[in-house]
Amino acid sequence: MSDDFEDTVNEIREYVQYQIDSGLRYALAPVVSDRLSPGRLDEIREQIGDCRRCKLSGSRTNIVFGEGDPDSRLMFIGEGPGRDEDIEGRPFVGRAGQLLTKMIAAMGLDRSRVYIANIVKCRPPKNRDPEDDEVIECIQFLDAQIAAIQPSVIVTLGRVAVKALLGFQAPMGKIRGQFYDRNGIPVMPTFHPSFLLRQGPNDRKYKGMAWEDLKQVMSLLNLPLGRGGE
Tens-place pLDDT, residues 61-98:
999 999 999 999 999 999 999 999 999 999 999 999 99
* Number of structural domains in the chain: 1
At a CB cut-off of 8 Å and minimum separation 6, what does 153 contact?
73, 74, 75, 185, 186, 187, 188, 217, 220, 221
What pLDDT, on a 0 to 100 scale, did the predictor assign at position 168? 87
**Does some domain include residue 198?**
yes
Report d(CA 163, CA 25) in Å as an integer. Answer: 9
Segment 55-63 mean pLDDT: 96
Segment 112-136 mean pLDDT: 96
At a CB cut-off of 8 Å and minimum separation 6, what does 61 contact?
86, 87, 89, 123
Indicate the pLDDT class of residue 220, thresholds 50, 70 and 90: very high
**C-alpha 82: how far from its chain's center?**
14
Q: Which of 29-33, 136-140, 150-154 has the lowest mean pLDDT?
A: 29-33
Arithmetic mean of pLDDT over the chain: 86
Indicate the pLDDT class of residue 24, thresholds 50, 70 and 90: very low
Report d(CA 75, CA 36) in Å as an integer. Answer: 16
**Does some domain include residue 229?**
no
What pLDDT, on a 0 to 100 scale, did the predictor assign at position 21? 55
User: Is pLDDT larger for residue 57 or for residue 10?
Assistant: 57
Indicate the pLDDT class of residue 227, thresholds 50, 70 and 90: low
Report d(CA 200, CA 167) in Å as an integer. Answer: 30
CATH number, position 98: 3.40.470.10
pLDDT for 148 beyond 80: yes
**Does some domain include residue 139?**
yes
**Does some domain include residue 230?**
no
CA angle 76, 162, 98 (to 5 degrees): 35
Segment 215-229 mean pLDDT: 84
**Does some domain include residue 85?**
yes
**Does some domain include residue 12?**
yes
List 181's β-bridge partners, or say none. 186
pLDDT for 106 beyond 90: yes
**Does some domain include residue 226?**
no
Residue 121 DSSP symbol: S
**Does some domain include residue 227?**
no
Beta strands, E only, the chain: 67-68, 74-78, 115-118, 153-157, 180-182, 185-190
What pLDDT, on a 0 to 100 scale, did the predictor assign at position 7? 60
Which range marks the domain in which residue 86 is found?
Answer: 3-220
